[in-house]
Amino acid sequence: MNGLERNNMSLVKLFSILLFVTVANLTNAQVGKIPVGFTPIFNGKNLNGWHTSRTSHQGTTGNFYVENGVIMLKQRPYGQGGILLTNKKYGNFELYLEAKIDSFCNGGIFLRSSESGMAYQIELATPGGLGDLLGERMNVSKGAKATNITKVWKVGGWNAFRIRMEGDIPRIRLWVNGELMWDVTQPVNDFIAGATSGMVGLQAHWSAVYSSASEAFEMSGSWKPDAAHRFRNIAIKEL
């Protein structure tokens, strides 16, 4: 190998290192900082501006609290979950939040939620339909699957969600760690009576069956004892 070839190879190696560092920095920039133009809706200290639904079938006594700047969602008693809702309703918006979820726990991010938890839902479950678009207590005309989420998901770490919802007949988009997962426009407004605004909700799924009427919907494996879903840097930009 002559001197010119060695120099060219050195330049290629240097370029590769710089490219790796740049990509790593861009990826890390997606987590840990609220984007410009967003207004925080969680103060990092307490649950002012939020409340637990007292009408949700998921449970009404969930163990929801703030610890070290993070919203913690747990079950209480074990088997009963619940929904933590914003006091304010939102129509057209972009929502940003960071989530860290324990495995073998089922929950979700609710969009335009009613007090009882009727909402468009981003599924939060590992294993399960992580990042998928579902309906909670209503049928969604057009769902979506986050088929590429495993390429960007940080197992056991913090992951950034950015959700844009707009239109009376909603168009909903999801980015995870800066990567677009899906872009769906519903053919109709799926809400009863065509609701066009609602609360942001964070769900801890119930996992115990307390009545024969619910035995057909088996969810006993949807939450581990003392496990948690964690949320921080929650902010919104109204459109």
Q: Summarize pLDDT for 88-103 with one digit per residue, the tens.
A: 999 999 999 999 999 9
Q: Residue 71's domain spans which residues?
A: 37-238
Q: Is the dihedral of CA 95, 136, 126, 54 positive or negative?
A: positive
Report the CATH number that the domain containing residue 51 is assigned in CATH: 2.60.120.560
Tens digits of per-residue pLDDT, 30-46? 588 999 999 999 999 99
Mean pLDDT across the stretch 100-126?
A: 96
> Same structural domain for residues 71 and 151?
yes
Query: Residues 141-146: what's their mean pLDDT?
Result: 98
| Average confidence (pLDDT) over 38-62 | 96
Compute the CA torsion angle 23, 29, 32, 37 (nearest 10 deg). -160
Q: How far apart are CA 67 and CA 65, in angstroms?
A: 7
Q: What is the pTM of this model?
A: 0.83
Helix (H), strand (E) at residue 233: strand 229-238
Instruction: Give the pLDDT band of residue 224 (cuts 50, 70, 90).
Output: confident
Which range is least confidently modeled, 5-19, 89-103, 155-169, 194-208?
A: 5-19
Q: Are residues 18 and 50 in the same domain?
A: no
Please indicate, yes or no, whether residues 233 and 179 belong to a single structural domain of this protein.
yes
Looking at the structure, do residues 87 and 176 belong to the same domain, yes or no? Answer: yes
How far does Cα 22 stand from its chain's mean position? 27
Q: How far apart are CA 183 and CA 209, in angstroms?
A: 35
Q: How many CA atoms lie within 13 A of 174 on its CB side?
A: 27
